[in-house]
Amino acid sequence: MRTEPTLAIVIPCFNEEETLPLMLPRFLAKLNRLMHENHVAEDSFLMLVDDGSEDSTWDIICALARHNSRVRGIRQSRNRGHQNAVLAGLMEVKDRCDASISIDCDGQDDIDAMDEMISRYQEGFDVVYGVRGSRKTDTWLKRTTAQAFYRLLGWLGAEVVYNHADYRLLSAPVMKELSGFHEVNIYLRGMVPLVGFKSCEVVYERSKRIAGRSRYPLVKMMGLALDGVTSLSIKPIRLVMALGIVISIASFLGIVWAVANALLGWAVSGWASTISVICLLGGVQLICLGVIGEYVGKTYLEAKARPRYIISERTSFEGDGGTRPARVAPTDAGESVRGDA
């Protein structure tokens, strides 16, 4: 049985000036209650990650951090996306806590599920996945496409947790091992299961967004889905090869049939069939090239090994007052601070 952990609640934020004033008191109240009931240690804290917001999100974070020592924040130099923001927060806290819980700041994830997550951690689980009990708050389109995506990933051989987003508890050893994954194309929902360790699930009900609008429109969701497929499985490449073999066999049979008809004098001139075959093969070839090109492009980005995130500012961890800019350089464990600018 583990003792009360030092907990870091990692909260990615992007243009959340409407949501933060409503949600931050809730997060602090939850953290205080967990400490009061001896579920977590007294040095537990919130880690807010500003993903290059264009509104007053960072100002709100800084103001709260100046008045509350349990609030810390980092700011990315530009918007890098939700997955990079979560990873930046995890890498920032991995040496400062025993466990972390990542959760969005829109109020949709049930913060009371943290109690069971921590209980599971104390029982010996290193990874606790928050899993939606239902998707009744989603639109029909989002619910249908999301469920189809999870099934597609499973069919492609990727190890993912059904109906799990990015609400999860990770122990410090898991975060340290995760820092050894050097992918530039990040899909944490697929990367965390690859780390291993003892895991379990906690089911909760997802609510509607508390304020503002979603920062994940359909285009971003499709991009995340594409990253998930191409970063976790090479089966699409194999399917392309299989499709090519099938079409080649069919084309060969078609040639035999055409030659036989010509030799028997049954051939008739006609451009419709010829054009149809050309269009079919041309379309299939373009699709195949697109799939292959997606993987080549991902390989190109990975070969560059650019930083997955760059932290431009951070609030103090040691109460030294205010915020300070920082330069970040890639290391073998991701990105780390090199010192004050």
More confident residue, 78 or 293: 78
For 247-277, what is each residue's pLDDT tens digit? 767 766 666 666 666 666 665 665 456 655 6
| pLDDT for the residue 293 | 72
Asked whether residue 212 carries a pLDDT value surpassing 60, the answer given is no
Q: Domain residues for 290?
A: 235-304
Instruction: Tell whether 296 and 334 lie within a shared domain.
Output: no
Evaluated on CA atoms 227, 229, 231, 235, the torsion sign reads negative
Phi-psi region of 334 (alpha: psi -120 to 50; beta: other; left: phi over 0): left
Tell me, yes or no, whether 138 lies in a domain: yes
Instruction: Tell whether 200 and 253 lie within a shared domain.
Output: no
Instruction: Tell whether 205 and 248 lie within a shared domain.
Output: no
Confidence tier at 285 by pLDDT (50, 70, 90): confident
Tell me, yes or no, whether 52 lies in a domain: yes
Instruction: Tell whether 139 and 264 lie within a shared domain.
Output: no
**CATH assignment of the domain containing 139:** 3.90.550.10
Tell me, yes or no, whether 314 lies in a domain: yes
C-beta neighbour count of 238 within 10 angstroms: 11
Average pLDDT, the chain: 75
Sorted by sequence, the CB contacts under 8 Å of residue 217 that are 6+ apart come out as none
Asked whether residue 110 carries a pLDDT value surpassing 60, the answer given is yes
Angstrom CA distances, 138 to 102, 133, 207, 308, stand at: 21, 12, 9, 30
Which range among 3-12, 106-115, 146-155, 192-201 shows the weakest confidence by mean pLDDT? 146-155
Amino acid type, 183: E
Instruction: Tell whether 123 and 159 lie within a shared domain.
Output: yes
Tell me, yes or no, whether 227 lies in a domain: no
Instruction: Tell whether 144 and 157 lie within a shared domain.
Output: yes
Tell me, yes or no, whether 332 lies in a domain: yes
Instruction: Tell whether 142 and 250 lie within a shared domain.
Output: no
Closest residue by Cα to residue 174 from 224, 227, 128: 128
Tell me, yes or no, whether 322 lies in a domain: yes
For 111-135, what is each residue's pLDDT tens digit? 888 999 999 998 889 999 988 876 6
- Phi/psi at 262 (5° precision): -65, -45
| pLDDT for the residue 227 | 62
Q: Please state, in angstroms and rounded to a whole number, the distance separating the CA atoms of residues 276 and 181.
A: 47
Evaluated on CA atoms 202, 140, 149, 85, the torsion sign reads negative
Instruction: Tell whether 245 and 279 lie within a shared domain.
Output: yes
Instruction: Tell whether 160 and 259 lie within a shared domain.
Output: no
**Model-wide pTM > 0.85:** no
Which range among 60-64, 72-76, 333-337 shows the weakest confidence by mean pLDDT? 333-337
C-beta neighbour count of 48 within 10 angstroms: 29
Look-up of token digits 């006609």: 270
Tell me, yes or no, whether 229 lies in a domain: no
The encoded tokens of residue 8 equal: 């870091």
Instruction: Tell whether 142 and 47 lie within a shared domain.
Output: yes
Tell me, yes or no, whether 2 lies in a domain: no
Instruction: Tell whether 26 and 139 lie within a shared domain.
Output: yes
Give the number of domains in the chain. Answer: 2
More confident residue, 99 or 239: 99
